[in-house]
Structure 1
Amino acid sequence: MRVLVVQNYDNTGLGQVGAALAEAGADLDLRRPYKGDPLPEDATGHNAMVMLGGGQNALADDDYPYFPALLELTRDFAAKDRSVLGICLGSQLVARTFGGENKIGGASEFGWHKVSLTPDARTDPVLGALPQDFPIFEWHDDTFALPENAVRLAGSEIAENQAFRIGRAVYGFQFHFEADRPMVKDWSTSFAPLIAERHPDWHDRLDGEMARNGADADAAGLAIARAWVATI
């Protein structure tokens, strides 16, 4: 199993998705196109693709000129019935790939928040075994309208479209289910100045929020990761 991993921003790792891929014995092909790494021409050499998050918006082609090629690559993975996973920015790019409208701003969430599954999620192979409501880590300002052929799987009070599926196994997740407690603590240090500008009380809130939500969020996130890997 060879999995293409597209990293779009510094200090954004696979987290629990990486753990699930390691359990499955996957061979990872990490590309950082924002640092000049070339993207594959098509999906032929890979069984699946993961697109990670980032601080940029999904329409930032001028600053990230590889975005259009990444959209074409995503279409090719889908056409070849190969699993795709987009997280946060990655989910916004998946929505854009298939005609969803990206909405810049107006949907800010940070920290652990509750998401709720839709009725369609109950029979979904990735989300079907999860609780109806669960806490998960969020960090985004933007959102999107679903493509016409997408199945909506989860939402929250702030962002209606938190998870969706296209076809058999192309998934977009606005929330950071890959971010377990160690990753959140790392982000809280690595991005401390940026977080302090927007959420000056985060340092004081972190331990309490983690104690309340971390275990349930980590369990949900790992379950999602393992279930998605099973689609490959």
Structure 2
Amino acid sequence: MAESSKTQRPHKTTHERLHEYIFGETALKANNIVPKYQKDCENDAELTLWIVDELLQSAHNYVQRLLDENKVLRRLINIKTIRVKGEEVKASWDLWTPEHAYAFACYLFLENKGTEACKQCQNCRSTGPMGGCIAGDMQYMKGACACCYYSGSGKRCSRRLTMEEEEAEKKAKKRPKFQGFTTALLKDASNEEIELWLGWVEAEMEERASARQPPSKKRRVH
């Protein structure tokens, strides 16, 4: 049997893929051993390495797509400290759901597209576990920060809302201004469109005429 002309890309283990990622000027896995379990991580650097290794094993396509598009680790993980029953403890977190895994991937690999934290992060209302308000552009988490996205409140993230307003303004500026009715416009319009416009014009003219009438001549309603 003749060999296939197609060359298959050899499968890489997650540990081999770690060499593709850069933190600073060093390969992420250079001289580093990935802890086997989360509980074995002794500092933020080891925990970050463990999380990235877990994310590389994720079955979620958009997590893998983000990791393929972004090879530079922007920051180490920082799990925020919260107060529970008078004691300061690290916030609980996991990578079990697609949203949680994606939020962590965005937090670690996206360039932060702003300097001011969102209102939820500023007022400690966000239940996301990351210490820091990190958000990319609209193609990632629709502009929300990782904490808000993780906690399911991305739609209320003020950074997303601000970005949506800016996008709407840009689209409005690009939209051509209405130049008024022209003979060319009327010729291209269907009969139904012209009847609709005519109805609008007649209703507007009646309203204006009624507004110009003196009070004594206006129709009284009994």
TM bracket, shorter-chain basis: under 0.3
Greater relative CO, 1 or 2 (CA 8 Å, sep 6+): 1
Question: In terms of Rg, which structure is larger?
Answer: 2
More strand by share: 1
Q: TM-score, normalised by structure 1?
A: 0.24
More helix by share: 2
